[in-house]
Structure formats: structure tokens, C-alpha cells
């Protein structure tokens, strides 16, 4: 579960970086590279969302512990 949270956070950071880069290209008038980075940002963001949903669903699950094996 913790690994999935970390992966989601990493994808979120990648999305933010791609979005900042897209904004920089847009300010320079470089539309092509700006669009490319915006598409990457969306992909990273979508992946982060899927991972976060997975982590959330797993965090609510209880695992059975076999007391006799302790």
C-alpha cells in the first residue's frame, strides 16, 4: 500500500514538472513543445489518479491474521 502511495506521489510530481515545462514553452510561443508537455502532464496525472484510487481501495481492506501461526 505504501509503495502505491509513493508511486502516485511520484507521478503527481512528474505531472507538475511537465505542466511547468509546458507553461515555459507556451510563454516562449513554442506551441508544439507546449502541447507535447501538456499531453505528458495529463498522462502522468491520470496515472497518479489511478494509483491513488488503488491505494485508497487497498487501505480500507483488512487482512486476516492467523493467530495460531504467531
Rounded to whole angstroms, the Cα distance separating 61 from 16 reads: 30
pLDDT tens for 30-52 read 999 999 999 999 999 999 999 99
Which is it for the CA torsion 30, 40, 48, 15, positive or negative?
negative
Q: What is the mean pLDDT of the chain?
A: 88
Q: What is the pLDDT of residue 14?
A: 96
CB 11 within 8 A of CB 51: yes
Q: Which of 66 and 58 is assigned the larger pLDDT?
A: 58
Amino acid at each position: 500500500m505504501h509503495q502505491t502511495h509513493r508511486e502516485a506521489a511520484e507521478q503527481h510530481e512528474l505531472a507538475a514538472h511537465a505542466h511547468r515545462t509546458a507553461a515555459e514553452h507556451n510563454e516562449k510561443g513554442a506551441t508544439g513543445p507546449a502541447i507535447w508537455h501538456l499531453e505528458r502532464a495529463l498522462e502522468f496525472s491520470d496515472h497518479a489518479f489511478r494509483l491513488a484510487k488503488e491505494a485508497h481501495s487497498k487501505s480500507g481492506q483488512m487482512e486476516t491474521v492467523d493467530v495460531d501461526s504467531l
